[in-house]
Amino acid sequence: MQQLKTKINGRLRLEHDRYPVCMRVCVAWGNLANVLNADGRSLEAEHAYKAALRHRSNMADVHYNL
């Protein structure tokens, strides 16, 4: 089990290092917005979607969800 955990963490670490910081921040805001929206907190989700778009304005999925 420890080997599997190491491989998974290693893969995630590589994926994480592949994107610039602004992209990771934007994705994090988008993920937060999706969670808030699923929880029925639509006003907070709207603010999070807009925060994601401030970091990167061309994310189609964020525009669609907004």
pLDDT tens-digit profile of 2-24? 444 445 555 555 455 556 666 77
Q: What percentage of the chain reaches a pLDDT higher than 70?
A: 67
> How far is the first Cα of the chain from the last one, in angstroms, to the nearest whole number?
40
Please report, for the chain, the start and end positions of each structural domain, with discontinuous segments joined by +: 20-65
DSSP 12: H
DSSP 58: T
Q: What percentage of the chain reaches a pLDDT higher than 90?
A: 38
Q: What is the pLDDT of residue 16?
A: 52
